[in-house]
Amino acid sequence: MSKWTEALAAKGIDCKSWKRKGFERVPADVWEDLLYEINKAELEYTDNYRAYRWKDGLHIGAYKKATNNGCCGEAQWWTKSRSGDIWRIGCNYGH
């Protein structure tokens, strides 16, 4: 288990069981990367967590919907999953 995964677990966040409606097939390591980026950027009041797989657009509809439903600030990053897939990850922040 990585130090980051351990830190999340200490906060009660288990990304292996962290299911977001509309994003059920996003791997746990992608969610971990999203939470890492949020923490690194010191974003507050985050919501509308989202991710889609670049190669085939898996979850892109839900991603766009979550983006459009968000308010205030928007943040997005790229990440590579352990399986080698590129994912677009993002969230909204601030209120």
**pTM of the predicted model, to two decimals?**
0.88
Q: Where does the chain have alpha helices with state H?
A: 3-10, 28-40, 60-69
The confidence band for 61, taking pLDDT boundaries of 50, 70 and 90, is: very high
pLDDT tens digit sequence for 25-36 = 999 999 999 999
How open is the CA angle 15-41-28, to the nearest 5 degrees?
Answer: 15
pLDDT tens digit sequence for 37-46 = 999 999 988 9
